[in-house]
Structure 1
């Protein structure tokens, strides 16, 4: 079987999709019966086609054409876009075995022209993994419109989705032979909003390799200027309003006011728009450590030396941050929103915070404060919650199992092609 994974650099490459690509690529390339190609498109770094044969997969960089290019995301300049997609098709054709149908795996929704080109010219099987939904990013900084779109989704029997449907995402779903969704909520969204048949969609959650735990994480704290008796809270991810940071910081502010004489630190690991949060929460300056984007080894150490993890995103699919927190045995306070509420059992593997959608969305800082206080006051419960979360993560987010599920999707598509080819020849 030949597998071509289409990739290009975006903000998402730093976070969810980037993690998915790196972990999945390494795991699927270890399968001897899969010949893997990583195809970097819209490459602005190289002026010439570049091919590099690695030990387990082949990487291809296809440069942008010399003609004026608008954007990978633009609906303008279709002629140039189509010519570039034909160029990609010509390049990939060199590597395809005769009388076979390659699998082409897309992780972005902006490639319907390329997907249809590869289906037509190369007889490719198209797999589209839905890591994010365009309506979410369209409204992530417009809370009122976000809430309006959420109401559309929640309204029983609604068939008009003026806030939610995205034309390019629709075209990508139509072009795909199989659509992988990371959560039940997204599965329902794709089926309902884009009118995709259920047999074309499959839910496969993210998976990660099980990490090695430090024997005594408290020993890691001096490296980061933290004392053993400090109560450490951790956020990891993009610094943005849509991550629920206003609600989180207000809850933390209330918690610190409840215990004014205790040593408390809030670690913020990730990049983004720091300025509004730094200016709006001056009372927390002595308690917050803005760590920025960290190397993987250091982030893993923060997971282990912290006491509580907090992830209050308003929309997720299958959060890698949540998986990592659970795998490291960190008790998690999470938003009971799409995606995250599927990953935790409230009170058993995490503590959920209710999300209210009205003219705007909101979470109770009082409830956030109560959850932090409970975990602070009851170390035994804190430890047990983290242990149960870790056990759940090792079962539900096993990388080998999730890769095997995805490979099965590829194999079924290949079998369908072989059956069509057999009947055609017969």
Structure 2
């Protein structure tokens, strides 16, 4: 294969500006020297910023264009509050929010096919953006199977000693971007409450982000919280080997690789019962934190409930082992890279055999 590194634009272009069009022109001209006019080719796009490019690609080539739904703009803008979508006019946008969402909708309309990593985002695209359900395929993320079956007690003890953790401490692991959307504010308060009842708890925040926001949420137990920052993959793997509990208290999410990594490493999980995460595991495979949704649609969590879940799992080794084994079995059945690759391959070949259909769209609820 040929890898072409295309620089990001150095300018901040305004909506529909000539600079945006010039950048898209340059990208397509570069591709014209690499991609033949005939053959088996699929163009894959990942971000709404690619919309000007996809439009020009479709003018220049007759190959299928697919888009991957990694995240949703409305979730980031409204912090997961779907109620705030009401009364938006995406057909005639008047502000930045409406324009951004209209661009996202147009990106998916221009695409010949869409891959969503969750069922709920497929439903969103159908119900809110008027995309045909036949044009959307749900393919979950997949991970290369990990063989940590032979991790010995001696090895975990050595890693704990080297990292500064006691042999009998219970390590609660958060892995991912340290951001309010990941529920870290609730996590910090819940952990502080849990430490009052169980002095053996340690919290590891594995990742980068708003550490200062975390610190503002606690008044004690500072010495029980570890912020790792960015780590090489080998060190991350060692943390997975010694973690007793994984926690994913996201306010909104999709199909995060951090969850799959913990499942693959047999780490029992506490997760928020939100759209996306609730498609990954069942009540027999993890402990769920129930969201509190206000009349206005805002999402919050009960800190005491989260604290009690941490304490119950920390004190019950048999429950940890059972949840870990059940979730590991689900990982092997549904979330390996082999199964993901096979589904992607089948979809790609089916798209190459089809002619691009003429698709009509319907707006929903005035959007």
Unaligned stretches of 5+ residues in structure 2: 91-96, 358-367
Which digits, 9 at most, give the CA deviation of each residue in 1:172-218, with x for residues without a partner?
00110000011011111111111000110010000000123152233
Determine if contact 1:161/1:193 at 8 Å carries over to the other structure.
no
Q: Does 1:406 align with 2:348?
A: no
Alpha-carbon distance in structure 1 between the residues aligned to 2:260 and 2:23:
38
1:142-162 CA-to-partner distances (Å, cap 9, x unmatched) read xxxx53xx2367xxxx78677
Q: Which runs of 4+ in 1 moved over 3 A?
A: 158-165
1:201 matched to 2:139? The reply is: no
Deviation at 1:288, TM superposition (A): 0.2
Larger strand fraction of residues: 1
Structure with the bigger RCO (C-alpha within 8 Å, sep 6+) is: 2
Please, which of 263, 274, 291 is the counterpart of residue 355 of structure 1?
Answer: 291
Give the C-alpha shift of residue 124 in structure 1. Answer: 2.6
- Residue from 65, 70, 79 that aligns with 2:12: 70
Instruction: Give the 3 Å change call, closer, same or farther, for CA 126–98 of structure 1 in structure 2.
Output: closer
**Are residue 102 (structure 1) and residue 41 (structure 2) matched?**
yes
Residues in 1 aligned to 2:133 and 2:3: alpha-carbon distance in whole angstroms: 34
Show structure 1 runs of 5+ residues with no match.
Answer: 1-56, 141-145, 420-426
Cα distance in structure 2, aligned partners of 1:372 and 1:58: 48
Equivalents in 2 of 1:318, 1:226: separation in Å?
Answer: 30
**Contact 2:262 2:268 survives alignment (8 Å):** yes
Q: How does 1:327-342 map to 2 (within 5 A)?
A: 327-342=264-279
Task: Say whether the 8 Å CA contact 1:243–1:313 is kept in structure 2.
Answer: yes
Cα deviation, 1:304-327, whole Å, max 9, x if unaligned, reads: 201100001111111111111111
Q: Is the 8 A contact 2:116 2:138 kept in 1?
A: yes
| Aligned-residue offset at 1:82 | 1.7
Instruction: Count matched residues.
Output: 345
Partner residue of 2:362?
none
TM-superposition CA deviations, 1:117-171 (whole Å, max 9, x none): 111112231110000011122233xxxxx53xx2367xxxx78677788011011
Which residue of 1 is the match for residue 235 of structure 2?
A: 298
The counterpart of 2:111, out of the listed 176, 180, 184, is 176
Q: Which deviates the most, 180-189 or 108-117?
A: 108-117
Does residue 200 of structure 2 align to residue 263 of structure 1?
yes
- Conserved? CA contact 1:64–1:84, under 8 Å: no
How far apart, CA to CA, are the structure 1 residues paired with 2:275 and 2:356? 38
SS state of the match for residue 131, structure 2? Answer: coil
Counterpart Cα distance in 2 of 1:352 and 1:161? 36
Describe the SS at the equivalent of 2:5: strand
The alignment yields a C-alpha RMSD, in angstroms, of 2.3
1:365 is aligned to: 303
Distance, in Å, in 2 between the alignment partners of 1:85 and 1:326 is 40
SS in structure 2 opposite 1:310? strand
Cα distance in 2 for residues equivalent to 1:412 and 1:320: 27
Contact 1:234–1:267, Cα closer than 8 Å, also in 2: yes
